[in-house]
Amino acid sequence: MGFYSRHVLPHIIDLAMRNQETARLRAAWIPKARGEVLEVGVGSGLNLPLYSSEVQRVLGVDPSLELQRMARKRMPERPMKVEFLTQSAEEPLPVADASMDTVVVTWTLCSIRDPQKALEQMKRALKPSGLLIFLEHGRAPDPGVAAWQDRLNPVWKRVAGGCHLNRKIDGLIATAGFRVIELKTFYLPGPRPMTYTYQGLAQAA
Ligand SMILES: C[S@@+](CC[C@H](N)C(=O)[O-])C[C@H]1O[C@@H](n2cnc3c(N)ncnc32)[C@H](O)[C@@H]1O
């Protein structure tokens, strides 16, 4: 891992993920989490302060130690167990099958090299009654915007830490064996290839 990925990118990610729009969406969805929570791509911990008192423990998975250091400074005020796993979510996670009440994934399925593998781990870890909360950007339905996403993707991936602009998030989630039970899609303010947003809930199918 080079200097840019280790020392510069984590700060860019932290800054980019902290704005009025992302804060509004986090505040709408993260409080729906309950019980034992697996947060995949916990990043700099921007969701941590938003977990409600219904959450007993958050297990945050992320391969970036630098982001994990930032997340440790955003621990929630109230007593809630937060633990970190420094690994890729594509690798087998050291959690029992059907042990998590909630899996949370925000603006991360775009960056995981093999999102299907990571979603399989999330599905394995989630209880049959559990909820997957997702908040992601991805492929736009408008052909003109999608064409730009395909065009920009190779360069974007290189400068934005492996982030893909053109993944159809609800399709990925369904292919992994989840049933999407709530889905809202729209453009956030900003350049359309980067801002088409998928937010919602899914359960094991
Ligand atoms: C754009 S950031 C979003 C961070 C955080 N979820 C948020 O909402 O602010 C993408 C995150 O995905 C993480 N990531 C990339 N590849 C991953 C993988 N294979 N497994 C788990 N997390 C990964 C990155 O380290 C980074 O923290």
pLDDT of residue 106: 98
Superfamily of domain 3-204 in the CATH hierarchy: Vaccinia Virus protein VP39 (3.40.50.150)
Residue closest via CA to ligand 1's atom 18 equals 88
Give the separation between CA 42 and CA 30, rounded to whole angstroms.
12
pLDDT of residue 12: 87
Residue closest via CA to ligand 1's atom 5 equals 43
Q: Which residues line ligand 1 (CB under 6 A)?
A: 13, 17, 40-41, 43, 46, 61-64, 67, 88-90, 106-108, 111-112, 118
pLDDT string in tens for the chain (205-residue length): 678 888 888 888 889 899 999 999 999 999 999 999 999 999 999 999 999 999 999 999 999 999 999 999 988 777 889 999 999 999 999 999 999 999 999 999 999 999 999 999 999 999 999 999 999 999 999 999 999 999 999 999 998 989 999 999 999 999 999 999 999 999 999 999 999 999 999 999 9
pLDDT of residue 1: 63
Q: Token pair 């997702």 is at which residue?
A: 134
pTM above 0.85? Answer: yes
What residues does each domain of the chain span? 3-204
Residue closest via CA to ligand 1's atom 19 equals 88
Contact 104, 76 (CB under 8 A): no
CA 165, chain centre distance (Å): 14
Contact 105, 133 (CB under 8 A): yes
Give the separation between CA 74 and CA 92, rounded to whole angstroms.
27
Separation of 13 CA from ligand 1 center, angstroms? 9
